[in-house]
Amino acid sequence: MNISRVDLNLLVYLDVLLRECNVTRAAEELGISQPAMSNSLRRLRDLFGDPILVRTSDGMTPTDRALELKPLVRNVLSAAEQVILPKTEFDPAGSSRIFRIMASDYTESTLLPVLLRQLRKEAPGIRLDIMTPSDVSFHDVERGKVDLVINRFDSLPQSFHQVHLWDDSFSCVLSAANPIISHWNLDSYLSSKHVWVSKTGMGVGVGMTPNDVQRLGWVDEALAKLDAKRDITLFTRHYQAALLLGEQDDLIVTIPTMTAMGMAKNPNVVILDPPFDIPRMRLKMVWSPLLQHDPGHKWLRQIIKSVSEEMLR
């Protein structure tokens, strides 16, 4: 096929169609009529010899070929945008831009306070809009409605860009009056009551159950490998609430170490290593390919990466 004979605008249409999976919404985003969008879809089907989108009970669903094309098309368009956009410098000191960041409670309690101090020095006019995982979907990130996502992930869409910020171990927070401190081992750990705290992934959360080991996460999966199970008496998605509960005499809170160290100067609690191995958790920064080359976005990513490296020293 001679590429000079291909209407490259079709790649723009394909990019939006695969992002929206809806002809009407794709037409609205591109500012064209629905019949024109439908005609573009027919031309795309002819070009690739594939239906691209198939109507199912869930709406318009991408074919396997379309899913293969999605990241490739996005990369091509990102490169084209980089070529034709005028080179502009971002002035952080004079900017009043608002950056929307989806951050887990863990991220809020570790990275964000340090990041905010740095921003006040370098870019006092910049504002952050912090959103929770339940506020945001992968679709929102893909469309660039959210600038960054900072969280732990089991899986991510292939088209997303990502940077590893750090790994963290786990620690146990107990009341200083808890009698098991004197005989701290796996048996005493399992005989106690526990607070579960976590919120991975994105989208609206659902209720937890003690029997759903895979959804309970790292701590309980590690125990399951030992054919053991802890007695969870309370489920929460907020690390700060969990830490306060750690002051109660009969509760154990097992959380990432960087969060636990926020209680290091509290005389009412002690921080201990777990009496069993737990795999380290990995924190990532993720963003849409639509924002990859944005000068302000690149600056913010660099600041966050720099702050993260400084925190690990």
In the numeric block, which tokens belong to residue 278? Answer: 């737990």
61 and 106 both lie in a single domain = no
Q: State whether 150 and 198 are in the same domain.
A: no
Q: Are residues 211 and 64 in the same domain?
A: no
Sign of the Cα torsion 248, 249, 250, 252 reads positive
Question: Residue 47: is its pLDDT beyond 50?
Answer: yes
Residue 48 pLDDT > 80: yes
Question: What's the CATH number where 103 sits?
Answer: 3.40.190.10
Question: What is the pLDDT averaged over residues 281-307?
Answer: 92
Residue type, 150: I
Same domain, 155 and 298: yes
Q: Which helix or strand (DSSP H or E) is residue 41 part of? A: helix 34-48
Are 196 and 249 in the same domain?
Answer: yes
Is 235:193 a contact under the CB 8 Å cutoff?
Answer: no
Domains of the chain: total: 3
User: pLDDT confidence of 120, banded at 50, 70, 90?
Assistant: very high
CB 250 within 8 A of CB 178: yes
User: Where does residue 255 fall: left (phi above 0), alpha (psi -120 to 50 degrees), or beta otherwise?
Assistant: beta
pLDDT: is 227 or 133 the higher one? 227
Same domain, 269 and 179: yes
- Strand ranges (DSSP E) for 41-83? 53-56, 59-62
Enclosing domain of residue 37: 3-84
Of 278, 310, 313, the C-alpha closest to 171 is 278
> Does residue 155 share a domain with residue 14?
no
CATH number at 12 reads: 1.10.10.10
pLDDT at 159 over 50: yes
